[in-house]
Chain A
């Protein structure tokens, strides 16, 4: 099958890309001044050069750079991301523990942004001078201009501190008892503000793009043909215009996926969401190199998987992509 062959090729390219990312990350972390020995010495309240050298020898930091790189790549190839200096646990274990929380946040925010963005985009395209259209434009500019940590903190003050609708932070309330549904509801309640904060920025982008793209397709010759066929308005708009208008939105969503993940770092920190973002923040401050590299590796993996998915969806929506025309 053609689709399978191309998917396979894409996966091969993705693996090569991932290898490049691993090497680049390692080089960049190595270039940054300071290492874990400094942090450990600091937490001990200072240490002399001899103890520092001892710590470096313990962690293999005294080896030449190229040897360290070689050892790291060898380990990654065996799915071993090393062990955290700071938590004293295997990095993979640490990350896999945090990953579901981040994925839950990122995927919910991205889906919500896409769905609401497309719906408001379509409605405002049908009445480009209507109330909703202007509202979308204003909210879009606001949402895109406001940094996520600022929006997040304002929402916290308004909805958690003033009117107590939502919890201040975290993902679960330890006092909640009950079955699966009670816990799901608890997590959902904790998710509302972070998801809203994270999706606002992207919602604005998708909505504006979808509006512009819909306005173009609604004025196209094939939409006129659809009307001349006597099709109902719902079919003209959703079947004939929207499917064509979605193409640029899907492309953008794929490109923005990495931005959503980096936005998640800030949002997680603001709402103390127990995901990769808060972990990244902690280990960067602690100069925990193996964990930082591990998080970067997993982020790259998620972004690459997201792009692969975008490609496949794009091919489903637009037959012209299938033959490269």
Chain B
């Protein structure tokens, strides 16, 4: 089976005052045509870094791909020239960011910000690009698109701005859409609308989706497959229903038990709401030859503290990097 995107043994290093830290350590995964996968994990686990590496947008002078390959459509993006990457960004791979309030340029109208990407990649004339921008605003369900195209970002709500971001990302009909916590900054009803919109647009265009989130509900709703990240490493990977039904990594189990469940009647006994004790280790500890989750794990044994866990496969599709995975 051919993959649209195949990441092989990716290692991303961040240069810091204390030395070099591997924020992504030996990450491999694949994304098929039209597939939807989700990266899950706490803040600081390297989810966003993975996305930025695919886009070729790692922070200049600080982050770099130390080793590994990112195959996109048969081309290694790690080795690609800046001009080539620019051609792919916003054209073949689109991205939406977490903060719709600040991700749009305050001094240009939203229509111009959409039309600009069409002019750049599709060579459309000013007039044609503007007409297409209005079509796109309509597609992301912004009412009165002709008049709203001339509006500036500060004249729009957070949800509307995120719709504009989606219109920009999808303007050139990319093969992959990367959504980095697209709804974190929005309130719950707007979140649901944005998810609906993304699902519909994906159905229409067949775009593959990489969604980064720490919201298990969003994963269950949007993704077919999920990858759980912890401290720059892949903890667990598998189809969403399988992983949620039977998580094979204590960190995944912890994340799932953090999600509150609604009960139908207040008289019912409610389960305690759990948390994963402790915090993600500091960057300085990344890359050590042990299980980085061990300090927060109830199952940790001597072996976890001395040897990095290998990936164990449970079926073709479900893998976990935990020494105790088989007993779970």
Contacts and interface: CB of A to CB of B under 8 A. Distances in A.
Interface of A: 220-222, 224-232, 235, 240, 243-244, 317-320, 323, 325
A123 to B, nearest CB: 16
A318 B85 CA distance: 31
B259 interface: no
B57 interface: yes
Task: Identify the interface centre among A225, A235, A243: most chain B CB within 10 Å of its CB.
Answer: A225
A226 B165 CA distance: 11
A225 B107 CA distance: 14
Contacts of B120: 229-232, 235
A227 B117 contact: no
A323 to B, nearest CB: 8
Nearest to B57: A227
Given A222-B102, A320-B106, A228 B55 contact: yes
Given A318-B107, A320-B152, A230 B102 contact: no
Given A227-B57, A228-B55, A317 B117 contact: no
B107 A243 contact: yes
B57 A325 contact: no
B41 interface: no
A229 B117 contact: yes
B107 A229 contact: no
A320 B106 CA distance: 8
Task: Identify the interface centre among A226, A230, A240, A323: most chain B CB within 10 Å of its CB.
Answer: A230
Interface string B101-128: 0111111110000001100110000000
A232 to B, nearest CB: 7
Interface stretch (B91-99, B245-253, B317-325): B91-99
A270 to B, nearest CB: 41
B169 to A, nearest CB: 8
A317 B109 CA distance: 12
Contacts of A221: 97, 99, 102-103
A244 to B, nearest CB: 6
B105 A230 contact: no
Nearest to B51: A228
Interface of B: 55, 57, 85-91, 94-95, 97, 99, 102-109, 116-117, 120-121, 152, 154-155, 165, 168-169
A141 B257 CA distance: 59
A101 to B, nearest CB: 37
Given A225-B97, A225-B168, A325-B154, A230 B86 contact: yes
Contacts, number: 76
Given A221-B97, A230-B117, A244 B86 contact: no
Contacts of A229: 89-90, 116-117, 120, 168
Task: Identify the interface centre among A229, A243, A320: most chain B CB within 10 Å of its CB.
Answer: A229
Contacts of A240: 105, 108
A323 B154 CA distance: 10
A230 B104 contact: no
Contacts of A225: 97, 103-105, 165, 168
A230 B57 CA distance: 10
15 contacts: A221-B99, A222-B105, A224-B103, A225-B97, A225-B103, A225-B105, A228-B95, A229-B168, A230-B87, A230-B88, A231-B116, A231-B120, A244-B107, A319-B154, A320-B107
Q: For the complex of A and B, list the 7 residue pairs with the smallest distance between their C-beta atoms, beginning with the closest.
A: A230-B90, A230-B89, A229-B90, A221-B102, A222-B105, A221-B103, A229-B117
A224 B97 contact: yes
Nearest to B107: A243
A222 B168 contact: no
A243 B152 CA distance: 14
A212 B20 CA distance: 28
Task: Identify the interface centre among B94, B105, B106, B168: most chain A CB within 10 Å of its CB.
Answer: B105
Contacts of A230: 85-91, 117, 120-121
A231 B90 contact: yes
Given A225-B168, A228-B57, A230-B120, A320 B154 contact: yes
A323 B153 CA distance: 13
Contacts of B87: 230
A20 B116 CA distance: 49
Nearest to A320: B154
